[in-house]
Amino acid sequence: MDAVEQRREQNTNAHQTTNRIKKDERLLEEKTVPLFGSPKFFEECKNAINKNEGYADSAHDWETSFLFVVELDEETKEAFKNLTKMAEDNEEVKRIIKNMGEGYGFNEGDLKKGKIDELAVYLDLWHGKCREIKT
């Protein structure tokens, strides 16, 4: 194989590798699931409901709201407590906890004290569409 053919093969291989990486990155982006209970999670739920034609047809005359409560298990509560201990000396962890608290509807003080037992979620459904989801 001469130098030109080798270079051509290298370029082809590099191009194929680049395309494969881009494809893998797209798959990762598509498969990323927002943290349960976060604003992004509920925004995705709302979008999924509003894109579902079967739901829209079935619920075309529904006019209702739901309030449901998710009780946190002991392991999750302990994880929050451990995070707040880590935050004492780490500004990045402090920022994450603050954002988590806001995202989950908890205040930072409750997170630090471990006074989090549940997550209340309000779901407003109207004529086959989700008008609002909030915590």
**For range 5-10, the mean pLDDT:** 70
Judge if pTM exceeds 0.85: no
* Chain-centroid distance, C-alpha 83: 19
Q: Kindly state whether residues 7 and 65 are assigned to the same domain.
A: no
Instruction: List, in order, residues 6 or more apart from 68 with CB less than 8 Å away.
Output: 120, 121, 123
What is the DSSP-derived secondary structure letter of residue 44? Answer: H
Look at the chain and report how many structural domains it folds into: 2
Separate counts of helices (H) and strands (E) for the chain: 6, 3
Look at residue 4 in the predicted model and tell me its pLDDT.
66
Q: What is the pLDDT of residue 114?
A: 59
Neighbours of 105 (CB within 10 A): 15
- Do 25 and 36 lie in one domain? The reply is no
* Mean pLDDT of all residues in 86-108: 65
Identify whether residues 107 and 78 lie together within a single domain: yes
CATH of the domain at 68: 3.30.1050
Q: Report percent pLDDT > 90 for the chain.
A: 23
Q: Tell whether 81 and 22 lie within a shared domain.
A: no
Q: Which of 26-30, 105-109, 130-134 has the lowest mean pLDDT?
A: 26-30
Are 44 and 103 in a shared domain?
yes
71 and 129 inside one domain: yes
Answer yes or no: is pLDDT of 18 > 80: no
Same-domain check for residues 48 and 102: yes
Q: Are residue 23 and residue 45 in the same domain, yes or no?
A: no
3-state secondary structure of 107: coil
Q: Residue 8 is part of which domain span?
A: 1-30
Residue 130 and residue 99 in one domain: yes
Whether 64 and 128 map to the same domain: the answer is yes
Q: How many CB atoms lie within 10 A of CB 42?
A: 21
